[in-house]
Amino acid sequence: MADDHFSLSDCDVIGFDLDHTLCRYKLKESCKLIYDSFAQYLVAEKGYSKDLLRVSPEEWDFCAKGLVLDLEEGNFLKLAADGTILRACHGTKLMTAEMIEEVYGENREWKHFKTISGSYGRSAKYYFYDNYFDLPGALLCAKIVDSLPMTDGQKKYDFWKDIVCAIEHNYKTTAYKGVSDLGGETTQSQEGRPGGLAGTLLPENCGTYFPSVKKDPSKYLKQCPDSVKNWIRSLKNAGKIVLLITSSHSDYCRLLCQHILGNDFEELFDVIITNALKPGFFSLVPQQRPFWTLDSDVEIDILPSLEKAGWYSQGNWVHLDELLKKMTGKPEPKVVYFGDSMRSDIFSARHYSNWETVLILEELEGGEGHEPDVTDYGSSLKKKGKYDGLQHPEVYSFSKKWGSYFADRISTMKSTQDTLTMTWCCSSIRDYSTITIPSITAIVDLPLDYKFTRFSSNNSDHDGYYPQPPAVLLTLNQEGAAA
């Protein structure tokens, strides 16, 4: 990967995540559905305060990607690239510099940073909020902390087990339709997105999330533009192998794809993998995560290897890689994967598989975006790509309470000077994504051999963003140059 540029024309295989990548959600409606489904369960089944059922419009501003919940302390943390705490909230309430340093010390160091930054693993001591499915849960947990004052002698919070129960209740696979025992495993509490429970006999349409989307998909899903569908077809026509790899189960995947892509969506992909259980799809060996055949959305037989294109369940990238070698006739086919989750998609595909990765980051469409000017790039309008055609940003792409996703100013008790610092999430983008774009729509009008400037040690920290870097990174670059 020594080249400073990246082109899709150089790739043999092009893979896509589904949720929040190909399938874009109406965030206002979907976030409310997720929040309500959790809150109603906690109030009805676990005895939590009915105040959780009420959310003011202003409270949604709490939702921001990239936060870490310190489960023991009940604190939400925004971290710098070195693990320093930039901002923090106890529940929904902002903590002052004095309060942060009282809990985490003068240097504001979070003790679990080295563990999470090197693996993106899950823990009983913290939770990383990585995608739009997660964010309503962040607000709910913060409101729970607000409602649970510490009692005498109590030192740590203990509500997370109830959150896991709420997740499992609302994201059960079999809540989509009743199925018989499959001998499966809990996935949503591990993977952070609608995967659900396999292996339990449940009545049809139990829970809240899946029945609601199934009943009225148009309320929650955006249609995929014809330009994107035509672009995927053009990839296949150019001889590319096209993959769909999603942690959603096959029935939910079918619902989404039929609604956003049409009933002939299967023609767009050579290989479809559902219930992939990312990041395990990348991190676990074939013996731990074999592929399964499907019959009417039910997992039937374990496969010792993949022999042909088709639709499969679960699986692992090693067996997929062997299939791709057969399909391309190349000993080392070059693969690029598009996804929205740093943990499940980008870090895992790069770290374990060494795939090229394209991060879909809607925050680039919002108030963080750098307004393009033709003087930035001479007279080349092509550089702007689809910038002018991007959809108007939705809510939740920028939080006033938490500030920029990419950088923030930090002031400590011992220093009154604010220093603009890159966030951990931003440094992860630089380290693990090849390029980062606001949506697939942003690149569909570009020629297949368009050369993107990639993130690399030879380029600046903002060169891998297309079509424009976030404005705050340009400011950070200017301040660094001045210093």
* Per-residue pLDDT reduced to its tens digit, 436-471: 999 999 999 999 999 999 999 887 888 999 999 998
Q: Is the pLDDT of residue 483 over 60?
A: no
C-alpha 319/C-alpha 307 separation (Å) is 9
C-alpha 287/C-alpha 198 separation (Å) is 19
C-alpha 385/C-alpha 376 separation (Å) is 14
Please identify, among 343, 360, 377, the residue that sits at the C-terminal boundary of a domain.
360
**Do 257 and 303 belong to one domain?**
yes
Please identify, among 160, 192, 215, the residue that sits at the C-terminal boundary of a domain.
215
Enter the tokens of residue 203: 């009545």
**Do 97 and 108 belong to one domain?**
yes
Enter the tokens of residue 28: 């206002």
Nearest 5°: CA angle at 305, between 301 and 308? Answer: 90
Q: Is the pLDDT of residue 423 over 50?
A: yes
**Do 249 and 356 belong to one domain?**
yes
**Do 458 and 471 belong to one domain?**
yes
The amino acid at 137: G
**Do 11 and 46 belong to one domain?**
no
**Do 242 and 350 belong to one domain?**
yes
Which of 124, 157, 120 has the alpha carbon at shortest distance from 142? 157
For residue 75, the surrounding DSSP H or E stretch is strand 75-79
Tell me which residue range forms the domain holding 344: 5-24+221-360
**Do 322 and 368 belong to one domain?**
no
Q: What is the pTM of this model?
A: 0.89
Q: Pairing between strand 241-245 and 271-274?
A: parallel
Tell me the sheet residues that pair with 128. Answer: 68
Of all residues in the chain, the percent with pLDDT exceeding 70 is 82
Q: Is the pLDDT of residue 273 over 90?
A: yes
Active site residues: 17, 19
Q: Is the pLDDT of residue 150 over 80?
A: no
Total domains in the chain come to 3
Please identify, among 198, 215, 232, the residue that sits at the C-terminal boundary of a domain.
215
pLDDT given at position 369: 59
Q: What is the mean pLDDT of residues 199-224?
A: 77
**Do 132 and 188 belong to one domain?**
yes
Q: What is the dihedral of CA 82, 84, 90, 95, to 10 degrees?
A: -150
Residue 148's pLDDT band (boundaries 50, 70, 90)? Answer: confident
**Do 429 and 443 belong to one domain?**
yes
C-alpha 79/C-alpha 408 separation (Å) is 9
461 and 473 in contact (C-beta within 8 Å)? yes
